[in-house]
Amino acid sequence: MRLRPLTMGDVARKVGVSASTVSLALREHNSIPLATRSLIRQVANQLGYRRDALLDAFNALRHKSDQALHTRSTAFVVHTRSPNRQGGFEQAQLIFAGAREAAKASGHSLDYVTHGGGESAGTRLREILEARGYGSLILLNVSSEAPPLAGLERLCTVLIDAPSSDSPVDLVTHAHMDSARLLVKKLRQRGYRRIGLACSPDQERPLGRIHRMALKYEQATMPRDEQVEPLLLEGTGILDSLASARAWMEGNQVDVVITNGPHLSREISYWRGLLTRDLALASLELCGDDRDITGIRQDHALLGRTAMEQVAVRVESGARGPQAHTSISCIAGLWNEGETAPALRS
């Protein structure tokens, strides 16, 4: 004899889904695939589970009273393979700070959510957002995987800093290609000829090969003997790549190294310690107080503000899910003179 009434948790365990998925399926929510809804209804009937009419009435009343609030509630999701490590990612925090400023100005609430990848990434993210009642989503993709957009049709969604422009939702991104080409041009103007690009794995994976492609564009205008093949750093960057970086610089007679990692100021001594001669350095990802580093300064806060402003516009217009006509907003990087790659004397 059963000592307690059946719950949604019992149905969920039998089907192998979460309780929130069962709840949505039994309410015929279109975010749950039709086949899954049918299976959940079938299992519920077999077990003899019946929804609580009083609880349904309470939830309906709560949903009605909270609906306006939920549409102004936005999740800022950092999608990554390594949530514990990337949760404090400096760039993500700066972008979030800008988005939070714009959210406050537009009367929205904004929550920071770190979300891991994997085969069930889209399903798990949808369940989290449904359970918390978010009406809109800003998705910062710092993973090599495609962003998990499937099943988010009811949400107003803006994607941040993805390499592809064929997304079905609005995209706000740094102008990575233009920034890299600008930096190469500036270094050429300063007299540098053998320009080497050292790619950080943390930056290379989510952005595709955009920095390497930009270098190739500029190298097409250079003499053949001045073209240096890029170096893909190992592990977490220069500290895991000292031997290969030394061989690359010596073998190619590199006179200036461009890095696309965000922490060149902390790594200068490692780079310069690899060679007996002077080495110029420049960065594609300046942020914070790196005023004395030569390179491109990315305005991460402006990126976040622009994304949140785009969300606010979509929410006010009632737009949800994939759009027939999407927008791409590019935030230009700014040249920073710095002192690490001074102009060479003629």
Q: What is the pLDDT of residues 214-248, one digit of tens each?
A: 999 999 999 999 999 998 887 666 777 888 888 99
Question: Domain 176-298 belongs to what topology?
Answer: Rossmann fold (3.40.50)
CATH superfamily of 69-174+301-331: Response regulator (3.40.50.2300)
Element (H, E) at 315: helix 300-317
Same topology for domains 69-174+301-331 and 176-298, yes or no?
yes
Q: How does the average pLDDT of the chain come out, rounded? A: 80
What is the distance, to the nearest Å, from the Cα of residue 194 to the centroid of all Cα atoms in its chain?
32
Assess whether pLDDT exceeds 90 at residue 304.
yes
pTM above 0.85, yes or no: no
What are the structure tokens assigned to 177, written together? 């290609």
Select from 264, 209, 275 the least CA-distant residue to 237: 264
Give yes or no for residue 31 having a pLDDT over 70: no
Per-residue pLDDT tens over the stretch 158-210: 888 765 555 677 889 999 899 999 999 999 999 999 999 988 766 666 666 88
Q: Which long-range contacts (CB under 8 A, 24 or more apart) does 12-21 make?
A: 14/43, 14/47, 15/39, 15/40, 15/43, 18/127, 20/127, 20/130, 20/131, 21/127
Q: What local confidence, expressed as pLDDT, does residue 85 receive?
A: 41
pLDDT (tens digit per residue) in 252-281: 999 999 988 766 667 777 787 777 678 899
β-bridge mates for residue 335, sequence order: 296
pLDDT for 22 equals: 84
Mean pLDDT comparison of 22-31, 255-264, 304-313, highest-scoring range: 304-313
The pLDDT value recorded for residue 287 is: 74
Q: Where are the domains of the chain?
A: 8-51, 69-174+301-331, 176-298
Q: Is 75 helix (H, G, I), strand (E, B) or coil?
A: strand
